[in-house]
């Protein structure tokens, strides 16, 4: 057997560690600031979800199913799923998980939409971002936990930081694709009438790219849910933590209940965000 | 055409468009005299337009025609700078559009142009009304004013009652009407239309062409219209520029193009065009041999007719307005009768169909057989201008030089 010669080893790992050290020293205040904002937002959602009585939330979810997906059956199904989560005793944890997911998605969109728009506007930006996004999407999700831990320590904030980074690629990608595939003539028409780039963006490109962008938001949300569960490894309280505990204590039943609750949440979130991407039929008089 | 004002509105000088990376190379290397293929092989650049020089007058219906890939779209899009030309200038109302900065360009587009696209280019998420009002919205016109204007133009294009529908609810022809309404709402000086009717069924297409002709007779805008359909070009155009491989090979009136094609390419284009579709009554008519004034006595009229060896006279009043035809036979009958006539009685004048100068020969085919006499040609005030015999018609369509007087 030939052993790979150690002399030719490229010190990438050390290099990255050095950069991390540098960032930690010089950008400490910056990360504190970011962490504070992230925490404020997630706490606001968490407090809201825990403040509202469970039956109000169940009703709201049912209503969302009925009105957005336009099927009373789906609304009732959603309510049953939420009730089951409650009977498992996971109501509070699922609300915390939901708060983590929603606030992560909010941040991911704040970052991802403008980046997607920029990417659509400039071929150069697209050339640079595309391989990075490809890389990010194939990178094992755990890897994001390490820098998050180093910047923010344990808790909700690093979990969300990792979630945001992990979940942002689809919305960037699909915003870009959506805008780039908008009917050329519609854009040219706006240009021909003397529209400014801003008018073109808001009057033509974004509305016509909406279905694609919504698919991106749906994917980002689902990835955020998956990552929030993993984020419990670094101390984000929620359903993921229950699964983790069940694994370490080898309690199959408990793990199964927590797992099922995650699946139910996923179904509800998926169906609701998916409904946005289906373009409404235009009613005509 | 004769009744159009003569001021030139658009001057295109030495205009080039070379697609590809670093297109200026073509000129630096001195390749501009090579053929399109040679340039493409040497540099990988595609010549979209080559050294185009055109003048377009205000109020003119100007057609760009040519085979696919001949550069029609490139040219019309360069006029509004949806494509940036590589070399040369385009002066519109005295301003060179190729030299404007982004801001000037935006303002210039707003006040000068309306554009209609082949695939309509409508915004599917907006109602017909909002689509028609879009150009005005871009200009920052208030909602009330722009909706009022949009309703007005929608009515003009025959879409009253469709304001609240979405484009997808409409047929192709109707969608293109919305496109036209949107362009007209801005009241642009220049209307650009890139194959606006080529996606439509033949019948709808003809109808839209007719309506556009009628609209243009009212609006008198400068229209640049791209088509590869000869009949469309002949029907609509005041001037036609024929393009091949990015070059303009001939410019002329429909009549010029059909009767004097500049080369084989144009010849091939027009070969199935019947002169009957371009030549007008005015261009083939000849002088009326015998004009009979209605206040003349039958005797004078008959004398004049016999002197010219003709069997009929064309009767006009004091203002040269055409009243009808009187035959020598009828005059003889009047003279042989008991009653003595001082002037020609109305009852003796035979009323016949007339045509105006701009009627196409094609349309004479249906009139000629019904008329026992040569067809009188009158102007819009019914003043007698000339007449057309069957011989005139046959000669004009059998002979490409046609239309000379007979
Ligand atoms: N974006 C582009 N990049 C490279 N070449 C182009 C581009 N657009 C047009 N061309 C080339 O320029 C030439 C003129 O094209 P253009 O679209 O102006 O033709 P056209 O007369 O409008 O044809 P059609 O009747 O098919 O619309 C063609 O050879 C075409 O291949
Ligand atoms: Mg074209």
Residue A244 pLDDT > 90, yes or no? Answer: no
Q: Angle A54-68/A72-87 helices, nearest 10 degrees?
A: 150
The rounded Å distance from CA A186 to ligand 2 centre is: 16
CA-nearest of B16, B400, B402 to B246 is B16
In chain A, which residues have their Cβ closer than 8 Å to the Cβ of B109? 191-194
Q: Considering only CA atoms, which residue is closest to atom 1 of ligand 1?
A: B19
Return d(Cα A174, Cα B75) in angstroms, integer.
34
| CB distance B370 to B353 below 8 Å | yes
Q: What is the CATH number of domain A13-51+88-284?
A: 1.10.3720.10
**Which residue ranges of chain B lie beneath pLDDT 70?**
1-6, 399-406
pLDDT at B399: 54
Q: What percent of chain A has pLDDT over 70?
A: 96
Q: Hey, which CATH number is domain B59-78+100-274, 3.40.50.300, 3.30.70.141, 3.60.60.10, 3.40.190.10? A: 3.40.50.300
CB contact under 8 A, B117 and A189: yes
Which one of A181, A194, A213, A285 makes the best mutation probe of the B interface by having the most chain B beta carbons within 10 Å?
A: A194
β-strands B87-92, B8-19 pairing: antiparallel
What number of other Cβ atoms are within 10 A of residue B12's Cβ?
Answer: 22
**pLDDT tens, position by position, A216-241:** 999 999 999 999 888 888 888 888 88
Judged by a CB distance cut-off of 8 A, whether residue B185 touches chain A is: no
In chain B, which residues have their Cβ closer than 8 Å to the Cβ of A284? 164-166, 169
Q: What's the whole-number average pLDDT of chain A?
A: 88
β-strands B222-227, B61-66 pairing: parallel
Name which residue leads in pLDDT, A274 or B224: B224
User: Ligand 1: which atom is nearest the Cα of residue B47?
Assistant: 12
CB contact under 8 A, B82 and A191: yes
The CB of B69 under 6 Å from ligand 1? The reply is yes
The CB of B6 under 6 Å from ligand 1? The reply is no
pLDDT at A283: 39
Question: How far away is chain B from the Cα of A192, in angstroms, using its nearest Cα?
Answer: 6
Q: Considering only CA atoms, which residue is closest to atom 9 of ligand 1?
A: B48
Q: What is the CATH number of domain B281-398?
A: 3.10.580.10
The rounded Å distance from CA B64 to ligand 1 centre is: 14
Q: Considering only CA atoms, which residue is closest to atom 25 of ligand 1?
A: B68
Task: State how far the alpha carbon of B57 is from the alpha carbons of B1, B93, B192, B220, in Å.
Answer: 10, 10, 14, 11
CB contact under 8 A, A284 and B135: no
**How many residue contacts between A and B have a Cβ separation below 8 Å?**
80
Return d(Cα B84, Cα B277) in angstroms, integer.
37
Residue A284 pLDDT > 80, yes or no? Answer: no
Q: What are phi and psi of B355, to 5 degrees?
A: -130, 160
β-strands B239-244, B61-66 pairing: parallel
Name which residue leads in pLDDT, B339 or A86: A86
The 3-state secondary structure of chain B reads CCCCCCCEEEEEEEEEEEECCCCCHHHHCCCCCCCHHHHHHHHCCEEEEEEEEEEEECCCEEEEEECCCCCHHHHHHHHCCCCCCCEEEEEECCEEHHHCCHHHHHHHHHHHEEEECCCCCCCCCCCHHHHHCHHHHHCCCCHHHHHHHHHHHHHHCCCCCCCCCCHHHCCHHHHHHHHHHHHHHCCCCEEEEECCCCCCCHHHHHHHHHHHHHHHHHHCCEEEEEECCHHHHHHHCCEEEEEECCEEEEEECHHHHHHCCCCHHHHHHHCCCCHHHCCEHHHHCECCCCEEECCCCHHHHHHHHHHCCCCEEEEECCCCEEEEEEEHHHHHHHHHCCCCCCCCCHHHCECCCCEECCCEHHHHHHHHHHCCCCEEEECCCCEEEEEECHHHHHHHHHCCCCCCCC
Task: State how far the alpha carbon of B223 is from the alpha carbons of A199, B177, B200, in Å.
Answer: 27, 16, 20
Residue A281 pLDDT > 50, yes or no? Answer: no
Judged by a CB distance cut-off of 8 A, whether residue B80 touches chain A is: yes
User: Ligand 1: which atom is nearest the Cα of residue B75?
Assistant: 18
Judged by a CB distance cut-off of 8 A, whether residue B169 touches chain A is: yes
**pLDDT tens, position by position, B341-382:** 888 888 888 888 899 888 888 888 888 788 888 999 998 889
Q: Residue holding tokens 């155009």?
A: B237
The rounded Å distance from CA B400 to ligand 1 centre is: 33
**pLDDT tens, position by position, A134-178:** 998 888 888 888 888 888 888 889 999 999 999 999 999 999 999
User: Which residue in B has a C-alpha nearest to residue A282's C-alpha?
Assistant: B166
CB contact under 8 A, B106 and A282: no
Return d(Cα B48, Cα B9) in angstroms, integer.
24
pLDDT at B318: 87
The rounded Å distance from CA B83 to ligand 1 centre is: 11
The rounded Å distance from CA B49 to ligand 1 centre is: 9
Return d(Cα B305, Cα B325) in angstroms, integer.
12
Residue A285 pLDDT > 50, yes or no? Answer: no
The rounded Å distance from CA B64 to ligand 2 centre is: 10
Residue limits of CATH 3.40.50.300 in chain B: 59-78+100-274
Indicate the pLDDT class of residue A20, thresholds 50, 70 and 90. Answer: confident
In chain B, which residues have their Cβ closer than 8 Å to the Cβ of A191? 82, 109
Residues 112-131 of B with CB under 8 A from A: 113-115, 117-125
In chain B, which residues have their Cβ closer than 8 Å to the Cβ of A199? 138
């Amino acid at each position: 057997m030939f052993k790979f010669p150690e002399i030719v080893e490229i010190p990438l790992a050390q290099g990255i560690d050095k950069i991390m050290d540098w960032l930690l020293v010089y950008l400490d205040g910056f990360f504190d600031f970011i962490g504070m904002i992230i925490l404020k937002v997630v706490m606001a959602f968490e407090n809201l979800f825990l403040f509202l009585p469970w039956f109000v939330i169940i009703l709201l979810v049912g209503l969302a199913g009925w009105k957005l997906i336009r099927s009373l059956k789906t609304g009732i199904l959603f309510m049953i799923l939420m009730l089951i989560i409650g009977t498992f005793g996971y109501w509070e944890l699922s609300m915390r998980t939901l708060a983590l997911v929603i606030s992560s998605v909010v941040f991911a969109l704040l970052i991802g939409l403008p980046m997607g728009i920029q990417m659509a506007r400039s071929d150069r930006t697209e050339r640079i971002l595309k391989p990075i996004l490809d890389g990010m999407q194939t990178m094992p999700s755990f890897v994001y936990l390490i820098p998050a831990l180093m910047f923010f320590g344990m808790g909700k904030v690093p979990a969300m930081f990792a979630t945001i980074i992990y979940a942002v690629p689809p919305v960037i990608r699909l915003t870009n694709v959506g805008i780039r595939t908008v009917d050329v003539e519609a854009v040219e028409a706006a240009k021909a009438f003397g529209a400014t780039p801003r008018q073109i963006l808001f009057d033509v490109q974004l509305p016509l790219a909406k279905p694609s962008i919504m698919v991106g938001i749906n994917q980002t949300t689902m990835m955020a849910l998956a990552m929030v569960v993993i984020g419990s490894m670094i101390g984000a309280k929620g359903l993921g933590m229950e699964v983790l505990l069940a694994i370490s204590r080898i309690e199959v039943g408990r793990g199964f209940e927590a797992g099922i609750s995650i699946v139910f949440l996923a179904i509800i979130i998926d169906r609701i965000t998916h409904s946005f991407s289906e373009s409404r039929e235009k009613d005509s008089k | 055409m004769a009744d159009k004002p003569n001021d030139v509105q658009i001057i295109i000088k030495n205009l080039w468009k070379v697609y590809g990376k670093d297109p200026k190379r073509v000129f630096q290397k001195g390749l501009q005299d090579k053929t399109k293929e040679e340039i493409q092989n040497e540099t990988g650049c595609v010549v979209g337009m080559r050294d185009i020089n055109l003048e377009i007058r205000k109020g003119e219906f100007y057609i760009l025609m040519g085979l696919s890939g001949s550069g029609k779209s490139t040219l019309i899009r360069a006029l509004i700078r949806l494509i940036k030309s590589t070399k040369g200038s385009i002066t519109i109302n005295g301003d060179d559009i190729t030299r404007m900065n982004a801001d000037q360009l935006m303002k210039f587009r707003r006040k000068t142009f309306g554009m209609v696209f082949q695939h309509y280019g409508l915004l599917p998420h907006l109602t017909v009304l909002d689509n028609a009002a879009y150009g005005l919205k871009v200009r920052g016109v208030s909602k009330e004013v722009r909706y009022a204007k949009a309703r007005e133009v929608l009515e003009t294009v025959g879409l009253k009652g469709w304001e609240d529908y979405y484009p997808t609810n409409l047929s192709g022809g109707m969608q293109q009407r919305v496109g036209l309404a949107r362009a007209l709402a801005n009241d642009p000086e220049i209307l650009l239309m890139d194959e606006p009717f080529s996606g439509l069924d033949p019948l709808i297409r003809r109808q839209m062409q007719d309506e556009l002709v009628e609209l243009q007779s009212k609006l008198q805008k400068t229209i640049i219209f791209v088509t590869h359909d000869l009949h469309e070009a002949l029907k609509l155009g005041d001037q036609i520029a024929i393009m091949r491989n990015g070059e303009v090979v001939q410019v002329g009136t429909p009549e010029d193009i059909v009767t004097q094609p500049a080369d084989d390419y144009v010849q091939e284009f027009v070969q199935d065009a019947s002169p009957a579709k371009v030549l007008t009554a005015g261009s083939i008519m000849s002088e009326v041999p015998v004009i009979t004034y209605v206040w003349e006595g039958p005797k004078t009229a008959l004398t004049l007719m016999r002197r010219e060896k003709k069997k009929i006279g064309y009767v006009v009043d004091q203002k040269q307005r055409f009243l009808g035809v009187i035959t020598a036979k009828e005059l003889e009958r009047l003279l042989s009768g008991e009653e003595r006539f001082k002037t020609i009685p109305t009852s003796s004048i035979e009323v016949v169909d007339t045509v105006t100068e701009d009627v196409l020969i094609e349309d004479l085919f249906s009139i000629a057989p019904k008329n026992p006499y040569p067809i009188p040609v009158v102007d819009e005030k019914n003043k007698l201008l000339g007449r057309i015999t069957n011989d005139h018609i046959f000669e004009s369509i059998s002979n490409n030089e046609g239309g000379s007087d007979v």
